Amino acid sequence: MTALRVLLLLATCLPLAAWPGQQETGGQQHKAVQQYTAQVVAQKPQPRENFVQGLEILDGFLYVSAGNYGESRLLRYRLADGQLDASRDLAKRLFAEGLTILGDHIYQLTWQNKAMLVYRKSDLEYQRWLPLAGEGWGLTNNGKELIYSDGSAQLHFLSPDDARRLRSITVTEQGRPLKLLNELEWIDGMVWANIWGSDRIVIIDPASGEVTASIDLRGLLPPAEYRPGTDVLNGIARDPADGAIWVTGKRWPWLYRIELQPALVGSETQQTDSISR
């Protein structure tokens, strides 16, 4: 029997799940999720008091949405030296969440106030608010539409003019809905999302909602850097100037520039050595 006939026989006899890159859930086949760790290639100090909910880099500035009732702010720093350039305090009744910049405007979510705030990018001047149907968690854009998460397994695509919902997709990982999608970033046609309460970022296909990759960031903030109030990983920003990807967390003292590294197949990554430096 020729090698070609052997391969054809195997292809007809073996289930799809037996072939590399395929896994089965509920009788359906799903592509394997690419697993990554990360290498820290640079870091920048940032104010530890910022309860980071949203992060974006544009034109040499770092924009931060800081949350908590009575502490919520919109901040703009010079990326090169970390100096504060401008800021706006939110009303004490508002809890700020994700933010994104589209055109000449900055959009900032609130958590349970069912409102999205709109500012003028040039000077952070408040312009108006847009209604939300539910909670606001993470926010990004694809150049035309706003994309936001509400803590569920869904991503919602909105009109930037009036926050009208255009469509929604359910995010799935290996066929199962993936909830707690938090801070978002649009990177090379994909949506990157923090999973709240974890040290993990997933990469989502915005057409299908499928998770295509998972990034293990355990150990990113060294244990010695923890203080009372230090909270979870949250914050993803891509610098359009050079493609650098920066991540951080709530009340973290550092921004980290990371580069992805494929995880070793079958390896058990330990919490203390997930990140190479």
pLDDT range class, residue 65, cuts 50, 70, 90: very high
What number is the average pLDDT over the span 163-169? 97
15, part of any domain: no
Nearest C-alpha neighbor of 140 from the set 187, 76, 179, 176: 187
Confidence (pLDDT) at 191? 98
What number is the average pLDDT over the span 56-69? 97
24, part of any domain: no
What number is the average pLDDT over the span 3-14? 36
More reliable by pLDDT, 166 or 21: 166
20, part of any domain: no
247, part of any domain: yes
Confidence (pLDDT) at 37? 97
pLDDT range class, residue 11, cuts 50, 70, 90: very low
User: Any idea what the CATH number is for the domain that residue 149 is in?
Assistant: 2.120.10.30
Say whether pLDDT at 266 is over 90: no
pLDDT range class, residue 228, cuts 50, 70, 90: very high
154, part of any domain: yes
Number of separate domains in the chain = 1
8, part of any domain: no
Say whether pLDDT at 90 is over 90: yes
- For residue 43, give its domain range: 33-276
**Global confidence as pTM:** 0.87
131, part of any domain: yes
Confidence (pLDDT) at 245? 98
96, part of any domain: yes
